[in-house]
Structure 1
Amino acid sequence: MFSPNAGRGEKKQMGCFGYPLSIFFIVINEFCERFSYYGMRAVLVLYFKYFLQWDDNLATVIYHTFVAICYLTPILGAIIADSWLGKFKTIIYLSIVYAVGQVVMAISAIHDLTDGNKDGTPDTIEVHVALSVIGLLLIALGTGGIKPCVAAFGGDQFEENQDKQRSQFFSIFYLSINAGSLLSTIITPILRGQECGIHSQQKCYPLAFGVPAALMVVALVVFIVGNSMYKKVSPQGNVIVKVSKCIGFAISNRYRNRSKSIPKREHWLDWAKEQYDERLIAQIKMVLKVLFLYIPLPMFWALFDQQGSRWTLQATTMDGNFGAMQIQPDQMQTVNPILIIVLVPIFDAALYPLIRKCKLNFTPLKRMTVGMFLAAMAFVAAALVQVEIDKTLPTFPSSNQIQLKVINLGTQDVNVDYMTNLPSPASIPSFQASEYQTLDQPSNVSFSYGIDNKIFPLQDLAERTRYTVIVKNGQEIQTNFFEDISNKPEQGSNAIRFVNSLQETINITLGAVSVGEVMPMQVSNYTMLNLGTKQIEVKVGEKTCKVESMKFGFGSSYTIIIKECTTELLVDYVEDIKANTIHMALQIPQYFLITAGEVVFSVTGLEFSYSQAPSNMKSVLQAGWLLTVAVGNVIVLIVAGASHISQQWAEYVLFAALLVAVCIIFAVMAYFYTYVDPAEIEAQFDEEEKKKNAKEIEAMGVPNGDGPYSQTKM
């Protein structure tokens, strides 16, 4: 039975398997919240690029700005919880903000939200951008604000004699984080890949954002349901604020007395002794030593968090066909949590013990140095993959250029003269196509069937554009020019269009998509298809012909010539853009390297930080650690914005080089670092305080401590 004071911490909590029942609500809440966050974040950069139509650089900048804010707001959340509202109310209020932000993001992704004409084309993109920015700011405030509170609130549920259960809770808690991350990065890309819409069908970003929004609402409801079971600790004052005030006073006091003849002090923080006790000052000194080592660490996170931006964009130009499975570009991010689950026990149970047996002094700071180096090598691997991808990408026309391809629908060979310094290609056989020819400042092109000749002017064609010319002989030479796509189909889609070489108008259906009517000597609009074969159906009057298409891959473009529709459908394929040929599996080595780096860097870094900080200063180091993640994402913004590197592989090499340089600096700093035992230092102060109190008691005439002063706090 619960007492009337249930939920205030004065009761004996209901338990299950030795654990307070309340922690199960907290674990479920964390699973749902992490699913919500990582699910939304997994598809975010693709939403920026393909829905909001931002280029790669802008999408990367906004993505890392969002992540940076997510890791700045935990400081605000910790101050609010410890100084005013307490952890429980802070989690409730900021979770509401969080859920609202997720709902706003889902609404912002409704592609015909502003479609007044019901034609599937938004009247303006500004509404979507505005809603997206509002949603992301609310999410950043919510997820960052509750981050330092939920785990600590779970720890508050245990009694002082439940150290073992508390330790096991944190293991379960972090397992729920990885489980939520893993499932969400598998599921939300699948949801994004669906087709949905009110007036037109497009990639289903509303569903990809909507499910994380629903999970955040579930997280909030589950947390509220456990209200009566929680032990709630009242705000005790935030140690971060206290540390900041002490440092601020030391700096100002030193500045005020700079011109006075006061003896120099051993440490600049000793200028705070006029107002703060020596124990606090000594604790802050220990913390500052660790925070000083944090200075180079943001560079690691600058590389690590690009898994969700640059690496995901890289995957969009790769082949995701894994046989029985078709992997979406954003699903490659699941490799990281999978490898974490595999590598952490391997490192703890096998690698580290083996190193100890070899008598190698693999200190925590040395581990972190190795982790930074592994992350740099991951970006070298990413650069090598990018070089191979670039070899397969088509070359599109630049300024003052056009590219021209000729399809011959005539009954005999056609000769083409581009009237430039380029050698003309060989004659093009019937129902065949030429390769694209790049023409600088083109003037005219000539088509000839035997003695019949036709010259077509090119001056009015738009530069930096690809064109296909359909040519056919008859009583006179017929020519039609059509603009081609001038970029590679993205998100693994294939751009397919049809040429009608028949004498009649035809109606085409491709798979479940109606292509529509195509007149003779005309070309259809592009239809975007996923991987696989589709049925091509052509209707000519009352007659219907069908045939199975070739198997389409990822990122190709084809022009399909409808040649004949009698007893069967005859088609020819003209490859305009080759399919992606570099497999996504080639990203696995770079994911392995950066995940191995994360295991020896991040896990070891937190362990080292906690071992080197006083017991009451853990939250200060947690805030400092999260701040390094935020600064790391800011570095991405600076480098991506200032480097002006056109080749992506070169940017990867730049980041790798920067991290190697920082790694060397960190190794030097680590070499001169002296490890301390905070518990031993605090014990010395405790002993000095006991002696001081004993002297005070003795001076009052109670030498044995057996009197009215025997309850003096020790």
Structure 2
Amino acid sequence: VQKKKKNVKKKKVCGYPISIFFIVVNEFCERFSYYGMRAVLVLYFKFFLRWDDDLSTSIYHTFVALCYLTPILGAIVADSWLGKFKTIIYLSIVYAIGQVAMAVSAIHDITDTDRDGTPDNMIFHVVMSMVGLFLIALGTGGIKPCVAAFGGDQFGDHQEKQRRTFFSVFYLCINGGSLLSTIITPILRAQECGIYSQQKCYSLAFGVPAALMVVALVVFIAGSGMYYKAEPQGNIMLDVSKCIGFAIKNRYRHRSKQFPKRKHWMDWAEEKYDKLLIAQIKMVLKVLFLYIPLPVFWTLFDQKGSRWTLQATTMDGNFGLLVIQPDQMQTVNPILILTLVPIMDSVVYPLIKKCGLNFTPLKRMTVGMVMAAIAFFCAAVVQLQIDKTLPVFPSSSESQLKILNMDSNPVTVNLPSYPPFTVALIFHNSSDESTPVHYFNFQDVSLTKQMRHTLLIPSVINDTWLLTEDLISKPEQGYNGIRFINGLATAVNVSSPAVDFGLIQPLNYTTYSLVQYGKTTFTLRSGSQSCEFSKEFGYGSSYAFFIPSTLVFGPTCQESITVIEEIKPNSVHMALQIPQYFFITAGEVMFSVTGLEFSYSQAPSNMKAVLQAGWLLTVAIGNFIVLIVAEAAKIPLKWAEYVLFASLLIAMCVLFSIMAYFYTYIDPTEIEAQFKTMTNEDDEKHKNGEIQMLKKGSVNQKDHFNKDKKQTRL
């Protein structure tokens, strides 16, 4: 093995093993694949599968939690059975299959949809997406503890400097892949694709990450002949688990008997396990105890990909020359990471040290938790501003109704629970104005609950009255929902460069279609007559355009079209999310980066992987907390939920600061050296004792032989 490793090391470029270039490219492509898919995932749940916010959030965080549970499985398989190389290969294949399944799950077209754009065979799409996510979680989590360690294996003991550079480049690739993917995949998702209809291209947004994962796999396999592949040496986590299990079992077995008390409950494992191993486990457990309050930080942090993205869908993303998609706001996080990490290390921490403050790692982590809580208080303030602009949609026990009079004369209406009132005619207005509408709330009428309706009163009262279904949420992705109501006695064809509404029958209406931000021109045709009118759209609005019976085709027809605003456009700007992203990223730098450094420094030399697994477990638990709160609490006000999460983190921050106050920093190397010295001394004493016993036994044996010889003579 050593000879093989020596031969591999001869293949170098600029002093680095050529094999690491394949590993670095593999990691960049894999991280692009993972973060690209994850960036649009919650929007896929809400706008493709048509799940509500709570269910979308819950499934999203369940997936993220699984991604941080499976590294334990990957580490055990790699160290105990297959080795790192084969584990990466096999699980990458599983990973790629999962990404392909996600891309396939998002394929549908007009023949596969109903009126609201929801796929008819929804079971197929849900099953395919869930299978895909499970395979992705197994793949990305399983290879997570293997790739970085496998890259480190490619260096010799004399290449410590090159190894450090490799890890710096390795983590730069992680953030680079994350940054590029969260910019590109939302752009791909926003594209319109389809054979028969123009729809949001989730299949493309998932397909490109799938292709990148295949590229990652091919690149990694291409370097196979250049890798040093260490054989599996056994998993220390299994030894730790067995030792802890024996200590608990042994203590439980002797609970009712009189035995000398032991300083630590792990000392009950001394009958079977080495004292050095027990001392190392004690050091690990001491750090793991500090991890207890930490999952709540990840509960808040990972919501930037779920709740915060959904929040951005109700905001204005126009930055002038640049229009930001809701899921592209996540790019602020990796940009700030690449900016804040060097600033913290080179400026902030040295400045604090010069001020005479002892800013220990645990203090940094505490401040990081406070920063994350501040971020969620900021998110709550932003949500309060958004709520002021949102319409009041019907609750689960209510239905809403608005009335539009298509006649030129006022009509008196008597509704249940309301006094009689007069509905004036729909008046004409210019294109830059909108007719305000009023919705009436009902609970005990024969209307569909939790729905909005429009009642169209025809010009002849005895004719058929039309009852339409209106939008009950903001149009997806900041688009605008529009429909036409034809008050003419003849059919009219309505079209635009983006949407063709087709032929609208007399006294009838169209379903909603989505148009983008900006100015759109519509063309109306009836026989040989035609006219055009334009409308400037914002983000997230809903309009009904009424074509009156008195419409005169020609250049002045724009003044006759009535624009009815049903849902106001988004008016709160996405830039208001930047402060919350800044605080959550600053918290991440002080909490996550410092936490990993602290865990590494406090871990025994052979158990750093154990603490890494424990750290990843806190991420998984944090995501499970999100789905528990989202499904169990059912808080109707989003700003109140943000405040709840922030308050929970503040409480955990207080608990953590108390635990950190009583924590004593240790030097694992020094403790291990002391135990090794003690073990060597015990071995020497034991060896000397055996020699003395052998010498004493030899004399006794000689005396016994002489005595037996004398008795024989007699």
Output one character per residue of 1:428-458: Cα deviation in whole Å (capped at 9) or x when no partner.
564375521414468xxxxxxxxxxxxxxxx
1:31 counterpart = 2:28: yes
Q: Following the alignment from structure 2 to structure 1, what is the Cα–Cα distance between the partners of residues 497 and 592?
A: 49
Equivalent residues of 1:13, 1:21 under 8 A apart: no
The number of residue pairs the alignment matches comes to 681
Instruction: For residue 134 of structure 1, give the secondary structure of its aligned residue in structure 2.
Output: helix
Which of 437, 442, 449 pairs up with 1:435? Answer: 437
In structure 2, the CA distance between the partners of 1:265 and 1:639, relative to structure 1 (3 Å rule), is same
Cα distance, 1:53 vs structure 2: 1.4
Moved more, 556-565 or 158-167: 556-565
Output one character per residue of 1:120-166: Cα deviation in whole Å (capped at 9) or x when no partner.
86442111111111111111110000000000000001110111111
Output one character per residue of 1:461-506: Cα deviation in whole Å (capped at 9) or x when no partner.
4454333344565798996443322332222111111223444321
Q: Residue 712 of structure 2 corresponds to which residue in structure 1?
A: none
Q: Residue 550 of structure 1 corresponds to which residue in structure 2?
A: 535
Q: Following the alignment from structure 1 to structure 2, what is the Cα–Cα distance between the partners of residues 473 and 114?
A: 37
Equivalent residues of 2:413, 2:420 under 8 A apart: no
Unaligned runs of 5+ residues in structure 1 are 443-458, 702-714
Cα distance, 1:460 vs structure 2: 5.0
Instruction: For residue 544 of structure 2, give the secondary structure of its aligned residue in structure 1.
Output: strand
Equivalent residues of 1:497, 1:526 under 8 A apart: yes
1:273 counterpart = 2:273: no
Q: Following the alignment from structure 2 to structure 1, what is the Cα–Cα distance between the partners of residues 6 and 88?
A: 17
1:629 counterpart = 2:615: no
Moved more, 512-521 or 652-661: 512-521
Instruction: For residue 619 of structure 1, give the secondary structure of its aligned residue in structure 2.
Output: helix
Cα distance, 1:109 vs structure 2: 1.1
Which of 541, 565, 570 pairs up with 2:553? Answer: 565
Q: Residue 606 of structure 1 corresponds to which residue in structure 2?
A: 596
Q: Residue 323 of structure 1 corresponds to which residue in structure 2?
A: 320
Instruction: For residue 488 of structure 1, give the secondary structure of its aligned residue in structure 2.
Output: coil
1:394 counterpart = 2:391: yes
Equivalent residues of 2:8, 2:226 under 8 A apart: no
Which of 502, 507, 510 pairs up with 1:524? Answer: 510
Equivalent residues of 2:404, 2:426 under 8 A apart: no
Cα distance, 1:560 vs structure 2: 1.7
Moved more, 109-118 or 226-235: 109-118
Q: Residue 639 of structure 2 corresponds to which residue in structure 1?
A: 649
Q: Following the alignment from structure 1 to structure 2, what is the Cα–Cα distance between the partners of residues 162 and 523?
A: 73
Q: Residue 591 of structure 1 corresponds to which residue in structure 2?
A: 581
Equivalent residues of 1:13, 1:229 under 8 A apart: no
Equivalent residues of 2:9, 2:154 under 8 A apart: no
In structure 2, the CA distance between the partners of 1:597 and 1:322, relative to structure 1 (3 Å rule), is same
Cα distance, 1:676 vs structure 2: 0.5
Instruction: For residue 585 of structure 1, give the secondary structure of its aligned residue in structure 2.
Output: helix
In structure 2, the CA distance between the partners of 1:352 and 1:534, relative to structure 1 (3 Å rule), is same
Instruction: For residue 607 of structure 2, give the secondary structure of its aligned residue in structure 1.
Output: helix
Q: Following the alignment from structure 2 to structure 1, what is the Cα–Cα distance between the partners of residues 75 and 508?
A: 65
Moved more, 570-579 or 36-45: 570-579
Residue identity opposite 2:615 in structure 1: W
Residue identity opposite 1:523 in structure 2: Y
Equivalent residues of 1:499, 1:560 under 8 A apart: yes
Q: Following the alignment from structure 1 to structure 2, what is the Cα–Cα distance between the partners of residues 76 and 315?
A: 36
Output one character per residue of 1:604-652: Cα deviation in whole Å (capped at 9) or x when no partner.
0011111111111110110000000011111112222221211111111
Q: Residue 337 of structure 2 corresponds to which residue in structure 1?
A: 340
Equivalent residues of 1:404, 1:469 under 8 A apart: yes
1:183 counterpart = 2:183: no
Moved more, 191-200 or 364-373: 191-200
In structure 2, the CA distance between the partners of 1:30 and 1:419, relative to structure 1 (3 Å rule), is closer
Q: Give matches, 1:364-379, under 5 Å.
A: 364-379=361-376
Q: Following the alignment from structure 2 to structure 1, what is the Cα–Cα distance between the partners of residues 225 and 427?
A: 81
Equivalent residues of 1:403, 1:436 under 8 A apart: no
Q: Following the alignment from structure 1 to structure 2, what is the Cα–Cα distance between the partners of residues 119 and 394?
A: 21
Output one character per residue of 1:71-109: Cα deviation in whole Å (capped at 9) or x when no partner.
011001001101111100000010001001111111111
Which of 63, 84, 95 pairs up with 1:87? Answer: 84
In structure 2, the CA distance between the partners of 1:67 and 1:475, relative to structure 1 (3 Å rule), is closer
Cα distance, 1:522 vs structure 2: 2.4
The two structures have a TM-score, normalised by structure 1, of: 0.90
Q: Residue 295 of structure 1 corresponds to which residue in structure 2?
A: 292
Cα distance, 1:114 vs structure 2: 8.9
Q: Residue 707 of structure 2 corresponds to which residue in structure 1?
A: none
Q: Following the alignment from structure 1 to structure 2, what is the Cα–Cα distance between the partners of residues 353 and 504?
A: 78
Q: Following the alignment from structure 1 to structure 2, what is the Cα–Cα distance between the partners of residues 631 and 22?
A: 36
Residue identity opposite 1:282 in structure 2: A
In structure 2, the CA distance between the partners of 1:564 and 1:483, relative to structure 1 (3 Å rule), is farther
The two structures have a TM-score, normalised by structure 2, of: 0.90
Q: Residue 523 of structure 2 corresponds to which residue in structure 1?
A: 537
Moved more, 687-696 or 123-132: 687-696
Q: Residue 652 of structure 2 corresponds to which residue in structure 1?
A: 662
1:581 counterpart = 2:578: no
Instruction: For residue 544 of structure 1, give the secondary structure of its aligned residue in structure 2.
Output: strand
1:482 counterpart = 2:468: yes
Equivalent residues of 2:295, 2:621 under 8 A apart: yes
Q: Residue 253 of structure 1 corresponds to which residue in structure 2?
A: 250
Which of 9, 12, 17 pairs up with 2:9? Answer: 12
Q: Following the alignment from structure 2 to structure 1, what is the Cα–Cα distance between the partners of residues 2 and 357?
A: 58
In structure 2, the CA distance between the partners of 1:113 and 1:672, relative to structure 1 (3 Å rule), is farther
Unaligned runs of 5+ residues in structure 2 are 430-434, 692-714
Q: Following the alignment from structure 1 to structure 2, what is the Cα–Cα distance between the partners of residues 120 and 494?
A: 15
Equivalent residues of 1:498, 1:523 under 8 A apart: yes
Output one character per residue of 1:574-613: Cα deviation in whole Å (capped at 9) or x when no partner.
2111001111111111111111000000000011111111
Moved more, 562-571 or 285-294: 562-571
Instruction: For residue 537 of structure 1, give the secondary structure of its aligned residue in structure 2.
Output: strand
Moved more, 358-367 or 517-526: 517-526
Output one character per residue of 1:650-687: Cα deviation in whole Å (capped at 9) or x when no partner.
11111111111111000000000000011111222343
Q: Residue 467 of structure 1 corresponds to which residue in structure 2?
A: 453
Instruction: For residue 670 of structure 2, give the secondary structure of its aligned residue in structure 1.
Output: helix
Q: Following the alignment from structure 1 to structure 2, what is the Cα–Cα distance between the partners of residues 467 and 684?
A: 78
Q: Residue 697 of structure 2 corresponds to which residue in structure 1?
A: none
Residue identity opposite 1:328 in structure 2: Q
Which of 367, 380, 405 pairs up with 2:377? Answer: 380
Output one character per residue of 1:510-569: Cα deviation in whole Å (capped at 9) or x when no partner.
22321111233322221111111112111121233223x222111101112334322454
Equivalent residues of 1:500, 1:518 under 8 A apart: yes
Q: Following the alignment from structure 1 to structure 2, what is the Cα–Cα distance between the partners of residues 483 and 395?
A: 16
Q: Following the alignment from structure 1 to structure 2, what is the Cα–Cα distance between the partners of residues 641 and 24?
A: 45
Instruction: For residue 475 of structure 2, give the secondary structure of its aligned residue in structure 1.
Output: coil
Residue identity opposite 1:553 in structure 2: G
In structure 2, the CA distance between the partners of 1:254 and 1:567, relative to structure 1 (3 Å rule), is closer
Q: Give matches, 1:670-689, under 5 Å.
A: 670-689=660-679
Q: Following the alignment from structure 1 to structure 2, what is the Cα–Cα distance between the partners of residues 441 and 50?
A: 28
Q: Residue 143 of structure 1 corresponds to which residue in structure 2?
A: 140
Residue identity opposite 2:659 in structure 1: M
Output one character per residue of 1:3-24: Cα deviation in whole Å (capped at 9) or x when no partner.
9976x56543311121111111
Cα distance, 1:377 vs structure 2: 1.1
In structure 2, the CA distance between the partners of 1:541 and 1:253, relative to structure 1 (3 Å rule), is same
In structure 2, the CA distance between the partners of 1:397 and 1:83, relative to structure 1 (3 Å rule), is closer
Residue identity opposite 1:658 in structure 2: L
Moved more, 567-576 or 182-191: 567-576
Q: Residue 509 of structure 1 corresponds to which residue in structure 2?
A: 495
1:41 counterpart = 2:9: no
Instruction: For residue 508 of structure 1, give the secondary structure of its aligned residue in structure 2.
Output: strand
Q: Following the alignment from structure 1 to structure 2, what is the Cα–Cα distance between the partners of residues 362 and 316?
A: 39
Cα distance, 1:275 vs structure 2: 1.6
1:227 counterpart = 2:217: no
Moved more, 425-434 or 113-122: 113-122
